[in-house]
Structure 1
């Protein structure tokens, strides 16, 4: 996966952060968005899901994203 694709995946996850009630839901939501972004950019679905899950959990747990 190129750096450009990684940045696209992280940006997609930050923009579409799906905070859930639990850490697992946060990881699942971010993973789904990351895998979707990877599919659109021709990247690895597994890498996209892992990056998306990590980015979303980080965004939600750090308070960078306001969750309703």
Structure 2
């Protein structure tokens, strides 16, 4: 169950963080991706019976990590 939760949180955070298609968009920065990932992680962890705090932390790390995925637009400052 714990591994499934981790995979769901990481996948959802990366999917949500990758929704920004315009590289010059104000939403395309590390802060927004981190907050979005944390929110998605907490919601998914709560829905699957996991710790919301742990889900938020994992989601935040996945959100900011999405700035550094090769082949994507990356994040603006």
**Short-chain TM bin:** 0.7 to 0.9
Q: Quick check: which one's helix share is greater?
A: 1
| Aligned partners of 2:16 and 2:36 also within 8 Å | no
Measured on the aligned residues, the alpha-carbon RMSD in Å equals 2.3
TM-score by length of 2: 0.69
Structure 1 outlier segments of 4+, above 3 Å: 18-22, 61-67
Give 1:4 deviation, angstroms: 1.2
Task: Report the counterpart of residue 63 of structure 2 in structure 1.
Answer: 56
TM-score by length of 1: 0.76
Unaligned runs of 5+ in 2: 21-26
**Aligned residue runs from structure 1 range 31-42, under 5 A:** 31-42=38-49
Count residues with an aligned counterpart. Answer: 67
Give 1:24 deviation, angstroms: 2.3
Q: Bigger radius of gyration, 1 or 2?
A: 2
Unaligned runs of 5+ in 1: none
Task: Report the counterpart of residue 14 of structure 2 in structure 1.
Answer: 14
